Amino acid sequence: MLDADFFRRWMTVAAASVDREAERLTALDSAIGDADHGSNMQRGFTAVRATLEKESPQTPGQVLTLAGRQLISTVGGAAGPLYGTLLRRAGKALGDASEVDEAQLAEALRAGVDGVMALGGAAPGDKTMIDALAPAVDALPDGFAAARAAAEEGAVATTPLQARKGRASYLGERSIGHQDPGATSSALLIAALEEASSGA
C-alpha cells in the first residue's frame, strides 16, 4: 500500500530529477518552444518540495492536490495549469484515503490525464505530454517499471511527429524531428514514481 510518505517521496524524487534534467528540457524547448520549460519546471518542483516540507499533508490525495496547486501558481506558460490539473485531479480521485494501492493510483492518474486532455485539447499523437502520460497510465497495472518504460518510449516517439497542439504547432512541419519537452518532463515524473517505490 502507498501512503502519504510515499507520495511525498515521489514528488521529492521528481523535483531532484527535474533539477538534474532542467538544461536538457530547456534545450528541447528551445528548438520548438519558448526555451523556458526546464527553468519553469525547476521553479515549480522546487516550490512543491518546499511546500510539502512545510505543510506535511497527511494523505496521498492531499499530497497531490497541494503539489498541483503549487505548480499552477509557480510554473509559467501552459505547463503549470496542465501539470497542476494532472496532480489535482489525481489527488481528488484518491479522496481522503490514508493509503491507496497501485490500481487506485492508476485510476487516479487516468482521471488526471483525462483532465489534461480536456484542458489542453490534446490527444495521443499530437506531440504533447499526453504521448508519455497516456501509455504510462495504460502500463501502470503491470508495475512502475512498465509505466516508466512506456512513458520514456512515448516521449521518444514524439520526435518524428508534427505538433498539433501548443506553441510547437505554430512551427508546422518544422516541429518534426524534435522530441517534445512536455512529454520528456512527463516521462521524468513517471520515472520518479518507480524510483520512489524502489526506495520504499
The neighbouring-strand residues paired with 99 are: 3
pLDDT of residue 76: 77
pTM beyond 0.85: the answer is yes
Q: pLDDT tens across 69-109, in order?
A: 999 999 978 899 999 999 999 999 999 999 999 999 999 99
Helix, strand, or coil (residue 99): strand
pLDDT of residue 171: 92
For CA atoms 89, 95, 96, 100, give the dihedral sign: negative
The backbone region for 122, taken as left when phi is positive above 0, alpha when psi lies in -120 to 50, beta otherwise, is beta
User: Measuring CA to CA, which residue among 78, 70, 55, 73 is closest to residue 14?
Assistant: 70
* CA-to-CA dists, residue 143 to 11, 31, 49, 148, 195, angstroms: 18, 33, 25, 9, 12
Residues 6+ positions from 36 with CB-CB distance below 8 Å: 26, 29, 76, 77
Q: How far apart are CA 128 and CA 136, in angstroms?
A: 14
Q: What is the pLDDT along the chain (200 residues), one digit of tens a residue?
A: 999 999 999 999 999 999 999 999 999 999 999 999 999 999 999 999 999 999 989 999 999 999 999 999 999 788 999 999 999 999 999 999 999 999 999 999 999 999 999 999 999 999 999 999 999 999 999 999 999 999 999 999 999 999 999 889 999 999 999 999 999 999 999 999 999 998 65
The backbone region for 172, taken as left when phi is positive above 0, alpha when psi lies in -120 to 50, beta otherwise, is left
Q: What is the DSSP letter of 165?
A: S
